[in-house]
Chain A
Amino acid sequence: MFSKTLRISSSPHINKGVGVDVIMRNVVYALLPVAAFAVYAFGINALLVILTSLIACVLTEHLLNKFSNRPSTIADGSAVITGLLLGLTLPPIFPLWMTFIGGVLAIALGKFVFGGLGYNAFNPALVGRAILQAAFPVAITTWHPAFLADRFTRVSESVLTFPFAKPVVDGISGATPLSAFKFDQVTTESADLALGLVSGSIGETSSVLIALGGLYLIARKMMNWRIPVAILGSVYVLSGILYWINPEIYPSPEFMLFSGGLMLGAVFMATDMVGSPITSLGVVIYGIFIGLLVVVIRIWGGLPEGVMYAILLGNALSPHIDRLIRPRVYGT
């Protein structure tokens, strides 16, 4: 009886069972409604951009592993998230060939050169987007109105631009609420902003759906709630002070919260576990730092939007925060 060889393992012999792949899968679930609304708002163009970004990221991850003789890491789901996130940060009629390059560089330069998942200093999707912004400043700021009547039937010429050719801008293009404010001092209704009835990057317009996705992840304990709370809170407070000082020249705090990529960035990008500090106090400092930078760049910087750079700088700061903020060890 009991002739079988026993397995030996080191204690503890049980695990909570929430693996990296499970966390990543749930982040994808949380992003799906955001992506679905984006396709509903911007139509077939948005769908093509998102799919291209996804394919580029997953394919790059697969091929880089293959060429460097490493086991495939596609199954952990992190490349899917990078692909989705990058797609969601691009304008709806962004040329597909540029999207593809963004996806390849996000994985290759944002993640692989650092050593893969867990070693990336910056959020890979934002690295990809930063490169695209530097390389194609016009295309990445060419906006498109939401809810056009023919959005499910007509593919924009810009989207289908031949690789390495300059995109043709269609007759219609729309300013985002942030650029309208920055360059024309026009403000948009907060309700329209929150619901996503405005122009902007593919996935950044519906603050409500982004927040719901975040709440889902927080409820499942797969996201540190302190990060979005610290970022949004500090943006609200600082812009509230400025608005109180002079509502003529400064935007309202509600406008600041619901416009641009702040919601998407605060909920889905700044919360990337790898690039954020590890302690509770650390992430609060990190969040406040990002929030303050967003306000500074938006109001005093040359760009209408500053979320991307704010988060990338936050990523750069986070190892230093971890070095400085160390909780007191029991009994010391």
Chain B
Amino acid sequence: MLKFSSNTFKHGVHPPEHKEDTNKLPVRQFPFPPLIVLPMQQHIGKPAQVIVREGQEVARGQMLAKADGYLSVPMHAPVSGIVRKIANVPVIGGQKASGIYLETFPFSGQEVVEGAPVPLSASPEAILQGIQDAGIVGLGGAAFPTHVKLKIPEGKFCEHLIINGIECEPYLTTDHRVMLEQADDIFTGIRYLLRVTDAKQVIIGIEANKKDAADHLADRIPDDLPVKVKVVPVKYPQGAEKMLITALLGKEVPSGGFPIDVHAVAVNVATTAEIGRLLPHGRGIQERVVTITGPGIKKKGNYLIPIGTPLRFVLEHVGAAENLSEVYMGGPMMGVSASDLDLSIVKGTSGIVVFGDENVKRSDKIYPCIKCGACVDACPISLNPSRLGILAKSEAYDTMAEEYHLMDCFECGSCSYVCPSNIPLVQYFRVAKGIVRKRKSAVAHV
């Protein structure tokens, strides 16, 4: 069933979408790089523990590192090759962290080794275990371990399973292509999700700029599944879990709470497809769909890229402009700037957006806050970013947290996007949140 809804969340912004460059381009397999650089922490939680040794030959799909406890996921070999080095690898933020350098066998057929299948008839616990064993994390960008998210806490129940196909970040079209090309995987994934959440109904939320995907999925809903496809108006940041729940269910997730508090669980559509694709074969994540786009890219498109492929290899292959200036991992609203091209594609990389010098439109001139209120009208959770920004400058972090709900901010960037004074509000809030968290844990340890 396909439904149109004019419901949405409060406020929000409309950045130029730039999705037409890639949304008609089918996903293509990317070549295997000669060297895979695989960080052990690509997810929220503890890094995976390496279980192979240097010089060991590994097959594509083989587990290279195991989960370190519950809040962690294992890592699988993206290619067949030989473990060259177990050492620190570059990660985002200019630091180094534990990882594996894996040299690809040049003439290997790159067959995938499969593990023990997790059938749909398995118990919910076994399915959750299977999801963890497959190394699945939120592919929308957050990279939170999916099995943790799906675990319904004691005493709570899930009524609505929400499949997030919003993809509100400008430029990105990976979820769009996955919905058009992997409908069967998505519905298989939904079957697994229904088993573990015991939800009564499933809503696939899609923005109106992907109507083709909504039609495509609505036409293919299996008769025995309680699935609705709901099309909502285009608005950033509708893909944020809380905003989507409000748009689809008309309920607000309590401050500091989780979707399950309103009896909902939300899962990204590509993550859902990955569950449906991997679990029946007992496989782990070795690759993901990435949109490579932006004005600085010649061969824009959606590519199935092995995890751990270095950015330099990716950009050389797609022909990036020589004068590239900024490279974002993720979209331009919430993505992170790459500090250099030795970083690799990780599980949370939904897109690579490249801007040349001439595309970086942001002016470096920062004016004082003129209290125009544009940020107040943009903030999806009705904070007062203007006031918070002024408080941040005077380092009044406790006031920000206690009186102005700083900790509810999820850094969507809408306030900075509209700010006529170019004030880096989100950056201020990120720093302030870090300090408040540190102070709190310091108090807790006294």
A residues sitting closer than 8 Å to B (CB atoms) are 1-2, 4, 6-23, 76, 115-119, 224, 273-274, 276, 278-280, 283, 322, 326-332
Chain B 300-328 residues near chain A, CB threshold 8 A: 312, 315-316, 320, 322-328
Among candidates A1, A4, A16, residue contacting B418 with C-beta atoms closer than 8 Å:
A16
| In the assembled complex, B334 has its CB within 8 A of some CB on chain A | yes
| B-chain residues with CB within 8 Å of residue A22 when the two chains form the complex | 420
| A331 B355 Cβ-Cβ under 8 A | no
| In the assembled complex, B170 has its CB within 8 A of some CB on chain A | yes
How distant is A8 from chain B, measured CB to nearest CB, in Å?
4
| B-chain residues with CB within 8 Å of residue A8 when the two chains form the complex | 326, 337, 339
| In the assembled complex, B360 has its CB within 8 A of some CB on chain A | yes
| B339 A330 Cβ-Cβ under 8 A | no
14 A/B residue pairs, CB under 8 Å, sorted by A: A7-B360, A9-B337, A11-B328, A11-B334, A14-B417, A15-B362, A19-B422, A224-B373, A274-B370, A278-B373, A326-B384, A330-B252, A330-B255, A332-B408
A76 to B332, CA, bound (A): 27
| CB-CB nearest in chain A for B372 | A273
Given contacts A7-B360, A8-B337, A8-B339, contact A330 B380 (CB under 8 A): yes
| A13 B337 Cβ-Cβ under 8 A | yes
B residues sitting closer than 8 Å to A (CB atoms) are 10, 13, 15, 170, 242, 246, 252-257, 312, 315-316, 320, 322-328, 332-341, 353, 355, 360-363, 365, 367-373, 376-377, 380-384, 386-387, 405, 408, 411, 413-414, 416-422, 424, 426-427, 430
| B-chain residues with CB within 8 Å of residue A332 when the two chains form the complex | 254-255, 405, 408
Secondary structure at the A interface, as helix, strand, loop or mixed, is loop
A10 to B330, CA, bound (A): 13
Among candidates A14, A278, A329, residue contacting B408 with C-beta atoms closer than 8 Å:
A329
Among candidates B252, B320, B382, residue contacting A2 with C-beta atoms closer than 8 Å:
B320
| A330 B337 Cβ-Cβ under 8 A | no
How distant is A171 from chain B, measured CB to nearest CB, in Å?
46
| B-chain residues with CB within 8 Å of residue A2 when the two chains form the complex | 312, 315-316, 320, 322, 324, 341
| CB-CB nearest in chain A for B373 | A278
| A13 B382 Cβ-Cβ under 8 A | no
| B-chain residues with CB within 8 Å of residue A119 when the two chains form the complex | 368
| B408 A330 Cβ-Cβ under 8 A | yes
| CB-CB nearest in chain A for B365 | A19
| B-chain residues with CB within 8 Å of residue A280 when the two chains form the complex | 373, 377
A118 to B371, CA, bound (A): 7
A326 to B384, CA, bound (A): 8
A328 to B404, CA, bound (A): 10
A10 to B421, CA, bound (A): 16
| A6 B381 Cβ-Cβ under 8 A | no
| CB-CB nearest in chain A for B403 | A326
Among candidates A12, A117, A118, A278, residue contacting B332 with C-beta atoms closer than 8 Å:
A12
| A-chain residues with CB within 8 Å of residue B353 when the two chains form the complex | 13
| A-chain residues with CB within 8 Å of residue B372 when the two chains form the complex | 23, 273
| A-chain residues with CB within 8 Å of residue B417 when the two chains form the complex | 12, 14-16
A155 to B377, CA, bound (A): 49
The 10 closest A-B pairs by CB, nearest first: A118-B368, A12-B413, A330-B381, A331-B255, A10-B427, A20-B367, A8-B337, A273-B372, A13-B332, A278-B373
How distant is B11 from chain A, measured CB to nearest CB, in Å?
9
| CB-CB nearest in chain B for A221 | B374
Among candidates A279, A322, A331, residue contacting B381 with C-beta atoms closer than 8 Å:
A331
| A-chain residues with CB within 8 Å of residue B338 when the two chains form the complex | 6
A142 to B212, CA, bound (A): 70
| B420 A11 Cβ-Cβ under 8 A | no
| CB-CB nearest in chain B for A1 | B316
| B337 A274 Cβ-Cβ under 8 A | no
| B333 A7 Cβ-Cβ under 8 A | no
| A-chain residues with CB within 8 Å of residue B242 when the two chains form the complex | 330-331
A8 to B360, CA, bound (A): 11
| B-chain residues with CB within 8 Å of residue A6 when the two chains form the complex | 324-327, 337-341
A116 to B367, CA, bound (A): 11
How distant is A321 from chain B, measured CB to nearest CB, in Å?
12
Residue of A1, A23, A322, A330 ringed by the most chain B CB atoms within 10 A: A330
| CB-CB nearest in chain B for A18 | B420
How distant is B91 from chain A, measured CB to nearest CB, in Å?
14
| A330 B334 Cβ-Cβ under 8 A | no
A92 to B421, CA, bound (A): 36
Given contacts A4-B322, A326-B384, A331-B254, 10 further A-B contacts (CB under 8 A): A1-B312, A7-B325, A11-B336, A11-B416, A13-B332, A14-B333, A14-B362, A16-B13, A20-B420, A331-B256
How distant is B326 from chain A, measured CB to nearest CB, in Å?
5
| B382 A327 Cβ-Cβ under 8 A | yes
| CB-CB nearest in chain B for A328 | B382
Residue of A1, A19, A322, A329 ringed by the most chain B CB atoms within 10 A: A329
Given contacts A2-B324, A15-B419, contact A10 B426 (CB under 8 A): yes
Given contacts A11-B413, A12-B413, contact A117 B367 (CB under 8 A): yes
A116 to B256, CA, bound (A): 38
A21 to B368, CA, bound (A): 12
| A-chain residues with CB within 8 Å of residue B377 when the two chains form the complex | 280
A274 to B386, CA, bound (A): 11
A59 to B426, CA, bound (A): 36
| A-chain residues with CB within 8 Å of residue B418 when the two chains form the complex | 16, 18
Given contacts A10-B427, A329-B405, contact A4 B255 (CB under 8 A): no
| B-chain residues with CB within 8 Å of residue A278 when the two chains form the complex | 371, 373, 376, 384, 386-387
| CB-CB nearest in chain B for A115 | B368
| A-chain residues with CB within 8 Å of residue B414 when the two chains form the complex | 12
How distant is A206 from chain B, measured CB to nearest CB, in Å?
27
| CB-CB nearest in chain B for A15 | B362
| B333 A330 Cβ-Cβ under 8 A | no
